[in-house]
Amino acid sequence: MSTEIELKLQLTPKMAKKLASHPLLANIAPQKQRLLNTYYDTPQLALHARRIAMRFRKKGWQWLLTVKSAEPASGGLAMRSEWETQATPGVFDFSHVDNEELRHFLEQASGQLEPVFTTDFRRQIWHVPFGESLIELAVDRGTIESRGKSTPICEIELELLSGQVADIFGLTRLLQEKLDLHPAIASKAERGYKLFLDEPLLPFRAKPVELNADTTPIEAFRRIALGSLEHFQRNEAGILISIDPEFVHQARVALRRLRSALKLFAPVLPSEFVTAYGQTWQTLASALGEARNLDVFLTEILPPVVDAFPDDSDIRRLGKKVQQRSKEARKSIVKLLAVREYPQLLIEFTSAIHSLGEATQSSLPDFASQQITHLAHRARNCAKYHQSLSQAQRHRMRIAFKKLRYTIEFFSPLLSRKQFSAYTTALERLQDELGQINDYATANEIIRELLSKRPLSPIHGWMLGRHSLLISQLPGSIEIWQGHRTPAVKLTQKAVK
């Protein structure tokens, strides 16, 4: 078995043509290949379900059988296990797979394997000495085909043949100075399965992070941060081409989780790292926040008012103004994602995360216990005075509960499952109510701004009444939450998930 360390970058055909004249490649003779690959799976897609890709590749006159794990990429970088050997097409011999459990699974499935999609592309390769490393730079151009449908391939793969992972990022940064290159996280196999299944573009939600008692705090941060980055990147396409507001919502959640993780782990992170990236995502997060507030107003808050007062001209006028502002907010996000600095930031931040070194520090269970205790105590102090809080103070209370919830979710593999379920249910209910209160407070600000020159109308009374009602219901949810013990960290935790 080998471990493939690879950074994938999207580029346009125009950029692909310019790459060959880049100074870094001036004195390196390229190799050219045509690669034809057929990916196999069972009718039930058992390999896909286990995040395994299996293919036959024709490379010149040679045939290869390859098995790859399909760990997700973040910031474009993927580290995958790979087993490859010379083969005869259609002969499923997995004796080269040295993972006994995986080999047994593949052998059991071999009688059912059938083609699901193909990739056909031309590859141009340069072996680039860079820093202390040798890196294979490959440009692939071609198509993925399945069931009569196809989608284009135009990408760069930077594979570390020997040396340091940091050099892949260093080479990428130099390439980005002259070329528009965007980190890509979907492998050809992933794209092939989506084509085969005819899967629509859907919002991507946060996935659990694998942690255990032996994970160090730095490694825990690395996994959480890269998971949040993947969460954000997988919603990019939807922001750019879909009108579904959930893409914006999930992208906003991803950045909130990322920024929460930076603050949560700040005590064990290098101070220069926290200083460099603590506020890096603020501009994009603010743009997403504005767009999300307008989406909530249009999809959740305004419809019942329209139903109640269908003939009110101020309400109709307000709806049109908010729709226009929502379009402008979405355009602002698209512009931020289009600037050259954005893909450069993805590479720089991913590189910095992978470069974090281990230092003498507390165990992860101890660190998690300290942070959960601290944030739970802060939330309880806020809740103690909830009846006398101003709107700004109630907003800070909402943030305190949000930080607590993210922290509980991050460390969930270490927590007592019995306490975790009931506590998080109560915490989610309370946070949802605080979120609705904030939504109506934000809605009142939107109305005051957009109808500032109009006399009071039914919508003003509706919003104030709904806001007051939600606040009156808050004590019950606080009492339910206070009745649950904060989940304890299991200091002997060994399970991974």
Residues written for the chain: 497
pLDDT of residue 495: 38
Task: State whether 176 and 238 are in the same domain.
Answer: no
Task: State whether 292 and 350 are in the same domain.
Answer: yes
CATH number at residue 110: 2.40.320.10
pLDDT of residue 453: 76
CA distance 307 to 45: 46
Range of the domain at 383: 217-363+372-482
Task: State whether 53 and 13 are in the same domain.
Answer: yes
Write out the H or E segment, with its range, that includes residue 478.
Answer: helix 458-482
pLDDT of residue 384: 87
pLDDT digits (tens, 9 = 90+) for 167-204: 999 999 999 999 999 999 999 999 999 999 999 999 99
pLDDT of residue 428: 94
Q: Which residue has the higher pLDDT, 495 or 335?
A: 335
Task: State whether 147 and 253 are in the same domain.
Answer: no
pLDDT of residue 136: 97
Q: Where does a domain end: 197, 232, 254?
A: 197
Mean pLDDT in residue range 80-98: 93
pLDDT of residue 491 exceeding 70, the answer is no
Task: State whether 119 and 235 are in the same domain.
Answer: no
Name the residue type at position 473: Q
CA distance 383 to 379: 6
Q: Where does a domain end: 197, 227, 244?
A: 197
Task: State whether 224 and 75 are in the same domain.
Answer: no
- What is the token pair recorded at 412? 């969930």
Q: In this structure, is residue 490 part of a structural domain?
A: no
Do the beta carbons of residue 189 and residue 41 sit within 8 Å? no
Do the beta carbons of residue 140 and residue 154 sit within 8 Å? yes
Q: In this structure, is residue 22 part of a structural domain?
A: yes
Task: State whether 293 and 348 are in the same domain.
Answer: yes
CATH number at residue 238: 1.40.20.10
Q: In this structure, is residue 226 part of a structural domain?
A: yes
Residues 6 or more apart in contact with residue 465 via CB below 8 angstroms: none
Q: In this structure, is residue 209 part of a structural domain?
A: no
Looking at the DSSP bridge assignments, the partners of residue 144 are 119, 151
Q: In this structure, is residue 497 part of a structural domain?
A: no
pLDDT digits (tens, 9 = 90+) for 223-250: 999 999 999 999 999 999 999 999 999 9
Q: In this structure, is residue 208 part of a structural domain?
A: no
Total structural domains in the chain?
2
Task: State whether 130 and 191 are in the same domain.
Answer: yes
Task: State whether 100 and 242 are in the same domain.
Answer: no
Q: Where does a domain end: 138, 165, 197?
A: 197
* Per-residue pLDDT band at 60 (split at 50, 70, 90): confident
How large is the angle between the packed helices 417-450 and 282-296, nearest 10 degrees? Answer: 80
Task: State whether 235 and 190 are in the same domain.
Answer: no
pLDDT digits (tens, 9 = 90+) for 123-171: 999 999 999 999 999 999 999 999 999 999 999 999 999 999 999 999 9
Task: State whether 248 and 187 are in the same domain.
Answer: no
pTM for the model stands at 0.92
pLDDT of residue 189: 94
Q: In this structure, is residue 492 part of a structural domain?
A: no
Task: State whether 184 and 291 are in the same domain.
Answer: no
CA distance 401 to 421: 16
Do the beta carbons of residue 3 and residue 82 sit within 8 Å? yes
Residue 35: HSE in the Cβ half-sphere, 13 Å Cα cutoff: 25
Q: In this structure, is residue 51 part of a structural domain?
A: yes
